[in-house]
Amino acid sequence: QITLTQQAESLWVSPGEKVSITCRASQSLLYTDGKHYLSWYQQRPGQTTKALIYHASIRTDGVPTRFIGSGSGTEFTLSIEDVQPEDIALYYCLQTLKKPLTFGSGTKLEIK
């Protein structure tokens, strides 16, 4: 199975700063259609899990433009520019290239 590694368990950031969350896959997530099957999700207490990014870099409808997905092959990044207090959450990456589908272990974003 494909393993996704999110090295950072926690990241501390001040409001207004930029933060990057990385996700490394044990094999390339590039399919023959030219798309990377990597997506990002936000989990906030008391709220439903929210899809942020799919195909590595495409923002889901309604997601603020400060959320930016990038990367290719096996290395992916979710960047949040101008962090807001409401961005404090757990963030997970997910690969949907091959079953079993697998999630990264999650990165908790905390406010300094």
Partner 1 sequence: VQLVESGGGLVQPGKSLKLSCSASGFTFSSYGMHWIRQAPGKGLDWVAYISSSSGTVYADAVKGRFTISRDNAKNTLYLQLNSLKSEDTAIYYCARVGASFDYWGQGVMVTVSS
For 33, the token pair is 């259609």
Q: How far apart are CA 86 and CA 27, in angstroms?
A: 33
- Please report, as ranges, the residues that interact with partner 1 according to CB under 8 A: 39, 41, 48-51, 53-55, 58, 60, 92, 94, 96, 99-106
**Nearest distance, CB of residue 86 and partner 1, angstroms:** 18
Could you tell me whether strands 10-13 and 75-80 are parallel, antiparallel, or unpaired per DSSP bridges?
unpaired
Q: How far apart are CA 17 and CA 109, in angstroms?
A: 12
Using the minimum distance from each CB to partner 1, give the nearer residue, 51 or 88.
51
Using the minimum distance from each CB to partner 1, give the nearer residue, 74 or 95.
95
Using the minimum distance from each CB to partner 1, give the nearer residue, 16 or 100.
100
**Nearest distance, CB of residue 27 and partner 1, angstroms:** 17
Residue pointed to by tokens 């603020």:
64
The one-letter code for the residue type at 104 is G
**Nearest distance, CB of residue 15 and partner 1, angstroms:** 26
